[in-house]
Amino acid sequence: MEQYRTLERRRGLPVAMKAFLAIAIVALSATILWVGGGAVGPFVSSVVKGFGTFFSDVGAAASSPKATDAPQVGDAPVITQPEQPYTNADTIDVTVTVPSALVGLEGYSVRLYVTLPDTDPTVAGEAPVSSVSKVVIPGIALADGRNDFTATILGPGGETEPSSVATWIQDTSKPKISVISPKDGAQATKSPVTVKGKSQADALVRLQNAANGAVATATADTDGLWEAAIALAQGVNAITVTATDPAGNENEMTLNLRLGDGRLTVSVSGSAYRFKAPNLPKAVTFTATVRGADGLPLPGALVLFTLSVPGLEAAVSGEIPADGDGKATFSTTIPAGALPGSGLVTVLVTTSDGQTATDRVVLTVIE
């Protein structure tokens, strides 16, 4: 008969020991979480305060921290609008006003976008926000035609909505200019004369007459039409007409006009018109100036002078041709014996085509 050894069953751990082990396991788990969360300080505090407070602090340390709110992007900036959108410049400086809440903050910048016709916006430039509200982005290149600009603020919180649009229009073409009336080379019978023409809308038109220095200006309307009155001098008037468009481009032309009254004219003048009888004889010279229908001096016209004084026989010159300036001169002497009273100097002009004109001045003889 086999003999069996009686096995003695080990006695279980005391209840107090089991409780301690459980507490140790919980503490170890919490410590791992607690160290990962960086809460070393709570451990020291827990040791001092006891296990009750320890478990409370560990729970707080092990919980996830609240995420920091992202910085606000703020309001959109404002682009300074150009006084005149048209320009012939290749580059411009763009001024952007930053919202006051962002002035002086680091990590923020102004971003400038440009949109050309039938294209998407592209970045044209960028500058950091400074200690003042206005940020200037210099040397922004322009494309020919319309350039629409917007701006945003870029910061840690993202990018603001774009600003309102500011537009520049690059125009490097000379404006067209024409005179509708009067026609080039036309004859005018009075001064001033009204000149009418056409150019680019809103162009500034300037007229300057080389003959007398007269100047007149006008601004073309929305249809490009303009008119201005300018003074003329006798004879040929070379008038320079200059148009400057809103972008600053210039173009010019010359308008030639002649001023005359439309008929042959002559005027006479003398070296003296009043004489004392006791002082006679007296030498005197008379000059006749002849102008054609166009108001220009008329060389070659034949001038006849007739001098009549009371008490004397009339003195008649031969026909004197006018010189290159249209002038004819007659010199004579009023002899002694003239009686007090009024006399005349009369001129008669005859042209090669049979036109005639006359003029006269009064002479006076006194005692």
pLDDT digits (tens, 9 = 90+) for 96-150: 999 999 999 999 999 999 999 999 999 999 999 999 999 999 999 999 999 999 9
Residue 216 bridge partners (DSSP): 207
Phi and psi at 144, nearest 5°, equal -60, 130
Please, which residues have CB within 8 angstroms of residue 83's CB and are 6 or more apart in sequence? Answer: none
Domains parsed from the chain with CATH numbers: 15-62 (no CATH), 78-170 (2.60.40.10), 177-259 (2.60.40.10), 265-366 (2.60.40.1930)
Helix (H, G, I), strand (E, B) or coil at 66: coil
Question: How does the average pLDDT of the chain come out, rounded?
Answer: 85
Question: Two tokens at 314?
Answer: 């009339």
d(CA 357, CA 350): 7
What are 128's two structure tokens?
Answer: 């950091």
137's tokens = 């982005």
Distance of CA 262 to CAs 183, 234, 242, 290, Å? 17, 12, 29, 13
User: Contact 309/274 with Cβ under 8 angstroms?
Assistant: no
The region, left, alpha or beta by phi > 0 then psi within -120 to 50, assigned to residue 262 is left
User: CA 267: distance to chain centroid?
Assistant: 50
The model carries a pTM of 0.57
User: How would you list the strands of the sheet with 134-141, edge to edge?
Assistant: 78-79, 91-97, 134-141
Q: How confident is the model at residue 30 (pLDDT cuts 50, 70, 90)?
A: very low
pLDDT digits (tens, 9 = 90+) for 196-255: 999 999 999 999 999 999 999 999 999 999 999 999 998 889 999 999 999 999 999 999
Q: What string of DSSP letters covers 202-214?
A: T-EEEEEETTT--
Q: How confident is the model at residue 67 (pLDDT cuts 50, 70, 90)?
A: very low
Asked if residues 239 and 205 have their Cβ atoms less than 8 Å apart, the reply is no
Taken in order 141, 143, 147, 152, the sign of the CA dihedral is negative
pLDDT of 236 reads 86
In the chain, % helix, strand, coil (3-state, to 5) comes to 15, 45, 40
What pLDDT sits at residue 254? 97
